[in-house]
């Protein structure tokens, strides 16, 4: 076992897979000589050279199309978005090509493509650099989406994504790269379709993902002092959603709070609520509470930025009300 930063865990995953499979390569803006904006590809250019750690021009639609074409012909590209917000410029390539080509070709083409990079609300990055694209991509057929939250799951998810024959979007939060935790020395993989039970509890289920996992656990520390015993689930898999893990928890607690940094309208939380209302409504003793970011462009002003996203005290207050009133 060893303790590493999240960005180092991601780099280890890329390095291990590139070392084992010559078809794996990385492309994106400043991934080579500079080592990536958040140093996920630091020093890999020295080891693998220009053709496998490929610096691209600032043309997201072009290099995304090139990555998809290379995946169709047998390579396994990893596209780094310098900021995930920039990938909106490649939305057509991701949706109409990456997501659909395996289907529209009748299975003649596989698309073993990984799209990864930093996203989420940082610290005063402005509206255009604070996007949460999971709500944009969740309705596109053919895509898988996962969100890492720890160095352990970051490495395991990325290695599995690289080996998958379908396009996978890995969401990394811009404020979690310097998170440090223990990961195994030996090789490991994590499933791309399973949630993680972070904490067992009996009173209420809290579902979350990415950076909000830490806001939830901060809130849980206070809730325990109140005698409330929450069960916490980190979704990890955003598409498909591991609804079975959520339902198993609701069979015990019968109450649900969803905490996300995504916007409320059309977000991941909205999809979870829809699935539960469609098939499992009888498990609920109270209406589902959804804590999401406000439907506004993220302000640059630091104080206003904080107001737009969920904080631990809001989680505490919502759980207390739900537990005490039901």
* CA dist 103 → 35, 98, 100, 143, 149 (Å): 35, 10, 5, 11, 31
DSSP secondary structure letter of residue 101: H
* Catalytic residue (one of 45, 129, 173, 215): 129
- Asked if 189 contacts 17 with a C-beta cutoff of 8 angstroms, the reply is no
Rg (CA), the chain: 20
* CA dist 326 → 229, 231, 285, 291 (Å): 15, 17, 7, 18
- Mark whether 279 is an active-site residue: no
CA 185, CA 113: separation in Å to the nearest integer? Answer: 26
* Catalytic residue (one of 60, 196, 231, 271): 60
- Mark whether 129 is an active-site residue: yes
Number of C-alpha atoms within 13 angstroms, CB side, residue 11? 21
Q: Which long-range contacts (CB under 8 A, 24 or more apart) does 86-93 make?
A: 86/60, 87/60, 87/115, 87/117, 87/133, 88/131, 88/133, 88/136, 89/60, 89/61, 90/60, 90/61, 90/63, 90/64, 90/65, 91/136, 92/61, 93/61, 93/64, 93/65, 93/68
Which residues form the catalytic set?
Answer: 60, 129
């Amino acid at each position: 076992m060893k303790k590493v930063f999240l960005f180092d865990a991601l780099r280890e995953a890329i390095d291990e897979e590139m070392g084992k499979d010559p078809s794996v390569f990385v492309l994106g803006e400043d991934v080579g000589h500079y080592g990536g904006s958040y140093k996920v590809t630091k020093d890999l250019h020295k080891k693998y050279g220009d053709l496998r750690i490929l610096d691209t021009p600032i043309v997201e639609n072009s290099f995304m199309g090139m990555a998809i074409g290379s995946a169709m012909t047998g390579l396994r590209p990893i596209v780094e978005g310098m900021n995930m917000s920039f990938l909106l410029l490649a939305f057509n390539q991701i949706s109409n090509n990456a997501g659909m080509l395996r289907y529209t070709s009748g299975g003649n083409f596989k698309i073993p493509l990984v799209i990864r990079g930093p996203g989420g609300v940082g610290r005063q990055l402005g509206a255009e650099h604070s996007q949460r694209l999971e709500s944009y991509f969740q309705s596109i057929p053919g895509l898988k989406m996962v969100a890492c939250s720890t160095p352990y799951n970051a490495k395991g998810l990325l290695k599995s994504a690289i080996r998958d024959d379908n396009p996978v979007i890995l969401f990394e939060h811009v404020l979690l790269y310097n998170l440090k935790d223990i990961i195994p020395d030996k090789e490991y993989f994590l499933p791309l379709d399973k949630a993680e039970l972070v904490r067992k509890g009996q009173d209420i289920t809290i579902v979350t993902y990415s950076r909000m996992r830490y806001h939830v656990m901060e809130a849980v520390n206070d809730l325990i002092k109140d005698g409330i015993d929450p069960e916490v689930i980190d979704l990890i898999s955003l598409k498909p959603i591991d609804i079975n893990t959520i339902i198993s928890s609701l069979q015990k607690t019968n109450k649900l709070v969803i905490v996300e940094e995504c916007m409320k309208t059309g977000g991941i939380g909205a999809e979870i609520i829809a699935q539960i209302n469609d098939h499992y409504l009888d498990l609920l003793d109270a209406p589902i509470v959804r804590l999401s970011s406000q439907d506004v462009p993220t302000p640059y002003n630091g104080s206003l930025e904080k107001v737009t996203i969920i904080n631990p005290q809001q989680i505490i207050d919502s759980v207390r009300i739900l537990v005490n009133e039901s």
